[in-house]
A and B are shown apart, each in its own frame.
Chain A
Amino acid sequence: MGVTILLSYPVPENKTGPQTVDLLIKRIGALGAVQSGQFLVDCETFSSGPTMGGPPRTVHVLHNSEQPAAVFALLESPGPPPKTVPLVADGLFDLLMLKMSSIYASKKQTRMEARGTRFEIADFLVKIGTVTMSSNFKGVLVEVEYRPCFIAGNCWELMREFMQSFLGSVVQNTPPPYFQVHNRLNDVYQPLDTIQQYLDHFASYRKVAGL
């Protein structure tokens, strides 16, 4: 898969979420994009009970409709040192999490979901979706993938130009923090990178909600 950049598009004060999405769809349509189906990224969070000893550990389990056969699990370990261990598994991993439900319990109220429409324009894939947490609207996410390129550092300028063409000044001139923090600018882009960007955004939405 190509380099993907995920941006949170702020909802203007006098507009609702769906209105914002419609506006973006109109803009991308004007560029010549063609609609091609729907997409969905969901995230469920499990955390360990008190019997495990030590601080609680959290497992985020994410699914991405772009990789329908895969399950992405990210384990936040308190450490020391604190770290995140990613795991890519096939669909039956969900069954295993059910088996472990006595050890790792799901926090249903923090289930997050980004759902919306996919667009294609030349080699770009654009997804515009709304984020909901247990069916409450949280914000608008825009995912832009440039499929022929696999090194974020190579095509950031190009993607910035593309994104600014329909998102305007929301797009920063520097690469998103995810690429700088994890030093991923010069590595081959993986589906897991997309998932981690989603998780980062979901986490910040949760923080806003005060959870």
Chain B
Amino acid sequence: MNVELDALNEALKAVSSLRSCVGNFFLSLSQGVRSEHGEDHRETKYILELQDLVAEISSNMRKVEQTCSSIPLPPDGQINLGNTAHLAHETTQDRQALYSELVGSYKWTDKLHEISNITFGFLAQNVMKRSYNSYLNSSGMNAKRRRLTPSCHNVPISSVETVITAIDRQYQDMNMNVYRPHPSNCHNLQIQVSLGRILRAVISFRGMMIEWVKVKAYNEEFQTDNGQLGQLDLWTNSRHHVFRKITENANAAMLHFYSPTLPDLAVRSFMTWLHSFRSLFTDTCRRCGNHLLCAMPPTWRDFRTLEAFHEDCKP
């Protein structure tokens, strides 16, 4: 079988070199006498060139004949061409229905390419990776770098508490209570934040990493009814549209501020951002200058400037 294939390949090569020779011959013939043939005896030189080409053709022709004869014919006198044999059977493109499928697959690959390009662009801009491991993998296993940055979800609880107490002390009108829902689990921590008499929030930490944020009204309780002390209700939504919106934004902010290398800075920035809601009901929107839009106060705070915007006015 292999011998057969080699012989076939040889023959095909011979055919293509023959074709290229013939092509060259016709090319020279069509161009006629050119400048490179010089001034004297141009015609002779031209004829000599043509003769050379013709000789090449004939030698190639001979080669083709040789290779063809060396191909061992199968007993039934036909070479099995597999699926390619069918190509010759139906020559009209309509009946093969190949065209529409080809167009479809072309479009599909094109779109895939386009979307993956966009996604790549987005991912390159915003680092959304929450786990340090994948971060490490993508940037190459750099031993030096790993030493510099301890993984932030594995910070001992006492140091998290120190950071939180420091933040608590920083703001007069923001109180924080620390709960440990699972005393046996040394990394899980929940804090309940009350901001003035405006809102309450519960923030769940894993180490120094914020996992979950829920914002509710000042009079809505986080304590669960089933009486288990220290268990906060992380799941029930607020009754009020305003605080449901802020919960959404707070989760976005939590992702925005996340930084694997400086975890305490991430927590600090998030708290500063959350603190800006102390004037939730008194702020006007930066863009439209009104308190209300669709009966909702400005629920968006810019991450950098902490300016207030309506949901639909935000830049």
A residues at B contact (CB < 8 Å): 31-32, 121-124, 146-151, 154-155, 157-158, 161-162, 165, 188
Contact = CB atoms under 8 A, between A and B. Distances in A.
Interface string B216-260: 011100000000000000000011111100000000000000000
Contact of A148 (B243, B291, B294): B243
A171 B139 CA distance: 62
A123 B295 CA distance: 7
Contacts of A162: 291-292, 295
A10 B290 CA distance: 27
Contacts of B217: 147-148, 150
* Most chain B beta carbons < 10 A, residue from A121, A122, A151, A162: A122
A158 B292 contact: yes
Given A149-B281, A158-B281, A122 B294 contact: yes
A148 B239 CA distance: 8
Contacts of A155: 281-282
Given A123-B242, A161-B291, A150 B219 contact: yes
A3 B199 CA distance: 14
A165 B292 CA distance: 10
A121 B241 CA distance: 10
B197 A32 contact: no
B291 A32 contact: no
B313 interface: no
A153 to B, nearest CB: 9
3 closest A-B pairs by beta carbon, nearest first, are A122-B295, A148-B240, A155-B281
| Interface SS, B side | loop
Contacts of B263: none
Interface of B: 197-198, 217-219, 238-243, 281-282, 290-292, 294-297
Contact of B292 (A150, A151, A161): A161
A124 B281 contact: no
Given A122-B295, A148-B238, 15 more contacts: A32-B295, A121-B295, A122-B294, A123-B240, A123-B295, A149-B198, A149-B281, A150-B197, A154-B198, A158-B282, A158-B291, A161-B290, A161-B291, A162-B292, A165-B292
B240 A158 contact: no
Contacts of B243: 148
B250 to A, nearest CB: 15
Nearest to B199: A148
Contacts of B292: 158, 161-162, 165
Contacts of A161: 290-292
Contacts of A122: 241-242, 294-296
A151 B198 CA distance: 8
A165 B295 CA distance: 10
A123 B281 CA distance: 12
B281 to A, nearest CB: 4
Contacts of B240: 123, 147-148
Contacts of B241: 122-123
A165 B290 CA distance: 12
A127 to B, nearest CB: 16
A31 B294 CA distance: 8
B295 A124 contact: yes
Contacts of A157: 282, 291
13 contacts: A31-B295, A122-B242, A122-B294, A122-B295, A123-B241, A123-B296, A148-B238, A150-B219, A151-B198, A155-B282, A157-B291, A158-B292, A162-B291
* Most chain B beta carbons < 10 A, residue from A147, A149, A188: A149
A32 B218 CA distance: 26
Contacts of B281: 146, 148-149, 154-155, 158
A122 B243 CA distance: 11
Contacts of A151: 197-198
A148 B280 CA distance: 11
A161 B240 CA distance: 19
B39 to A, nearest CB: 93
Contacts of A31: 295
